[in-house]
Amino acid sequence: MNRETHPFPPLRPADLRLPHTERGLRIGLLGGSFNPPHEGHLLVAETALQRLRLDRVWWMVTPGNPLKDHGNLKPLNERIALSRALVKDPRILVTAFEASQHIRFTADTVSLLKRRKPDVRFVWLMGADSLAGFHRWQSWRQIARQVPLAIVDRPGSTLSLLSSPAARTLARFRIPEVDAAQLALSPPPAWVFLHGPRSPLSSTLLRERQEAPS
């Protein structure tokens, strides 16, 4: 895309507002820098919608991940536009509300939503590769106590991911995959590991391909 002739649209006020909800909705929260977004992210969202029987997924494009290098982070409006171009399902809402709240950590996002939207059933979504490092997230135990977690399988060693520090700590709160549709109604801590189609794509791999000399 030629940015001089096809610039990415600027952020809109609606992008930075907390999305509208209604009482009792089941909403999956998929957060990330999406730098860039790709089919693997979309697979996580679509799998969660179907297997967890969610009403919505919020595709939350963050200002930046504290655990990642921001040197090659694309502008927020660009990542929003690319995410919207990828998402076709109207149940998946692309939002950047965390930027207006000056949020850096997932634990703060979850606390804000539990405070502002107490009548909504939120579920935190992540790919299995994120489970491996979940114990390094700020206040990760607090996150697990506040919302159920859904882990969607990704390429790699599933057994090693399930033996990660966070998975071992939370092992007794894991619910059977056959009961995944009840996760949003389960009091936390509760989590499920969802197997199914997997995408080998990652944002890091895509950036490396873009930066490689032709």
* DSSP letters for 17-40: SPPP--TT-EEEEEEE--SS--HH
* Among the ranges given (11-15, 143-147, 164-168, 201-205), the one the predictor scored with the smallest mean pLDDT: 201-205
**56 pLDDT more than 80:** yes
Residue 197: predicted pLDDT: 61
189 preceded by a cis bond (ω within 30 of 0): yes
Query: What is the C-alpha separation between 96 and 172, in angstroms, rounded?
Result: 34
Q: What is the mean pLDDT of residues 6-29?
A: 94
Q: What whole-number distance in Å separates Cα of residue 149 and Cα of residue 170?
A: 10
Q: What is the DSSP string of 50-74?
A: HHTT-SEEEEEE-S--TTS--TTPP
Question: What tens digit of pLDDT does each residue of 76-134 get?
Answer: 999 999 999 999 999 999 999 999 998 889 999 999 999 999 999 999 999 988 999 99
pLDDT tens per residue across span 165-203 = 999 999 999 999 999 999 999 999 999 999 976 555 444
CATH fourth-level superfamily of 13-211: HUPs (3.40.50.620)
Task: Say if CB 167 and CB 161 are below 8 A apart.
Answer: yes
- Show me where the domains of the chain are located: 13-211
Q: How far is CA 75 from CA 31, 54, 82, 144, 205, in A?
A: 16, 30, 11, 30, 19
Over range 33-55, report the average pLDDT: 95
Residue 170: Cβ-neighbour burial (10 angstroms; 0-12, 13-18, 19+): buried
Residue 120 is which amino acid? V
